[in-house]
Amino acid sequence: MANETEEEGETEVTEYNPHFNELLESYNNLLEDSMKVLEKYGELKVSHSKVLKAFGKMKIEKEALEEKFKLKEEEYSMTALITENKKLKATIDKLNYDLGNFVRGEENLNLILGSQRSANDRSGLGFEVESSGTKKNNEVSIGVSDDIPEGIIIQTSPQTEQESVEEFEHETTFQEAEPNSSSLPESPEEPVDIEIEYVAFENQLADIFVEPLVTEKSLS
């Protein structure tokens, strides 16, 4: 009897608890919410794994792009260096060309300066090199006569002077040989007048010379 009384008392307590239904309903709601959260967590976990995979791919692509960018940068720098080297090579070639022209010009100038002659050297221009003795012989000073004034120096071409000198030497030799010939008188009182013969020879020279007369004033 006592046991039955206790069970009935417990049953009565359980049946008459006013918060039990509320707690049970709250528990069921929380259970449903937890199930939804678990499902959502699973979905988020899947999407997170997908994002991680995409991130890995993006990271790999980023590294590839960085490597490609480095290669492009190196290629650009190499291209710039190649262009600069080409410009420098062109500049060096131009400088070498100018230097070669300068060296050749200097050699030509030295050759020209080395081949120059003195201002008094007129050889190769129709003149002949003459010694001082020959030059003195080429200038014949004629004394006082009726045709040529005194103090005039006659300059002739070398060929005419040579012929005149040869003719004068021939006549002088002939005149020196005349006293020994049989045609001249043996008497010493009748010598040959050499001055008359020399004046005649001077007149003959004046007729032969066709060059313009040069006075001592014009020569000085």
Alpha-helix runs per DSSP H in 115-208: 132-138, 158-177, 194-208
Q: Looking at the structure, do residues 94 and 10 belong to the same domain, yes or no?
A: yes
Together in a domain, 108 and 136:
no
Q: Residue 143's pLDDT band (boundaries 50, 70, 90)?
A: very low
If asked whether residues 141 and 215 sit together in one domain, one would say yes
Q: Is residue 170 a part of any domain in this protein?
A: yes
Question: What count of other Cβ atoms lies within 10 Å of the Cβ of residue 140?
Answer: 19
> With 80 as the cut, is the pLDDT of residue 115 above it?
no
In 3D, which of 125, 133, 196, 124 has the Cα closest to residue 161?
133
Is 120 part of a structural domain of the chain? no
What's the order of all strands across the beta sheet hosting 139-141?
A: 139-141, 152-155, 214-215
Do the Cβ atoms of 183 and 189 come closer than 8 Å?
no
**Position 124 in a domain:** no
103 and 159 assigned to the same domain = no
Task: Give a yes or no: residue 118 inside a domain.
Answer: no
Residue 154 clears pLDDT 80, i.e. is over it: no
169 and 207 share one domain: yes
The fraction of the chain above a pLDDT of 90, given in percent, is: 25
Please tell me whether residues 13 and 96 are part of one structural domain.
yes
Q: Tell me, what's the pLDDT at 111?
A: 84
Domain hosting residue 212, numbered range: 132-181+190-219
- Write the pLDDT tens digit of every residue in 176-207: 544 444 444 444 444 445 656 666 666 666 66
Does residue 28 lie in a domain region?
Answer: yes
Whole-number Å distance between alpha carbons of 185 and 191: 9
Residues 8 and 66 in one domain: yes
Tell whether 127 is covered by a domain.
Answer: no
Residues 156 and 79 occupy one common structural domain: no
Angstrom CA distances, 61 to 52, 58, 89, stand at 14, 5, 41
